[in-house]
C-alpha cells in the first residue's frame, strides 16, 4: 500500500509540472504573438526599416540674426542692418517689415539685431541725437534703427518704423 501512495504523489508532481509547462507555453505564445504584431505594424508605419535610410532633411543655417558687434563685418559689399528689441510690443511691426522686404527685395541683404540681448547693451542709447553709425567702436543706436552699410562702414541710418519702411519698401 505504501508503494501506491508514492506512485500517486509522483503522478501528482508530474501533473503540476505539466500544467506549469502548458502555462509557460501559452504565455510564451501570447508574448510571441504580441511581438510579431508590433513588428508588423512598426514595419508598416516605417518605424523599422531594413536598409539604409536616406536623410532628406535640409539643414538651413540661420545667418539673418547677428549681434551688433558684427554689424560692419559681413561679407557683402552693401547690406542693411535692422536693430530693434525683439521683446518690445513694436517688434511685430519690424518682423513684418522684414518679411515683406525679404519677399520683394532688390537683392540687398537685410540682417537683424536683437537689442534685447545682453551682449548688445553697450550699443544702445536712449537719445536719438547720440546715434552714431560710423564704425563699430562708436556704434550707438536706438530701438528701431536701420543702418545701410557699404564697404564695412555705416553710410546712413533710418530711425523709427515709418522711416525704415520708406527706405526698405519705398512707401
Whichever domain contains 147, its CATH number is 3.40.30.10
Give the rounded percent of residues in the chain with a pLDDT score beyond 90. Answer: 33
97 plus 148 within the same structural domain? yes
DSSP state of 118: G
Sheet holding 109-114, edge to edge: 65-66, 109-114, 78-84, 145-150, 153-159
Assigned domain for 60 exists: no
pLDDT of 54 > 80? The answer is no
More confident residue, 119 or 62: 119
Assigned domain for 135 exists: yes
Range of the domain at 146: 65-169
- 110 pLDDT band, cuts 50/70/90, is very high
pTM score: 0.62
Query: What is each CA distance from 115 to 49, 67, 160, in whole angstroms?
Result: 47, 9, 14
Average pLDDT over all residues of the chain? 83
Q: Report pLDDT for 29.
A: 94
Strand partners, 108: none
Q: Report pLDDT for 26.
A: 93
102 plus 151 within the same structural domain? yes
Amino acid at each position: 500500500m505504501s508503494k501506491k501512495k508514492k506512485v500517486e504523489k509522483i503522478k501528482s508532481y508530474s501533473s503540476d509540472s505539466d500544467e506549469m509547462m502548458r502555462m509557460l507555453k501559452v504565455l510564451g505564445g501570447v508574448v510571441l504573438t504580441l511581438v510579431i504584431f508590433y513588428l508588423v505594424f512598426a514595419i508598416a508605419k516605417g518605424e523599422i526599416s531594413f536598409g539604409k535610410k536616406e536623410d532628406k532633411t535640409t539643414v538651413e543655417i540661420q545667418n539673418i540674426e547677428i549681434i551688433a558687434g558684427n554689424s560692419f563685418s559681413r561679407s557683402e559689399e552693401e547690406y542693411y542692418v535692422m536693430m530693434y528689441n525683439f521683446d518690445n510690443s513694436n517688434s511685430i511691426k519690424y518682423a513684418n517689415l522684414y518679411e515683406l522686404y525679404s519677399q520683394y527685395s532688390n537683392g540687398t541683404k537685410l540682417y537683424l539685431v536683437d537689442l534685447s540681448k545682453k551682449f548688445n547693451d553697450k550699443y544702445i542709447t536712449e537719445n536719438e541725437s547720440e546715434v552714431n553709425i560710423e564704425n563699430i567702436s562708436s556704434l550707438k543706436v536706438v530701438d528701431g534703427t536701420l543702418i545701410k552699410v557699404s564697404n564695412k562702414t555705416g553710410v546712413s541710418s533710418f530711425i523709427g518704423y515709418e522711416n525704415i519702411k520708406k527706405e526698405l519698401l519705398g512707401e
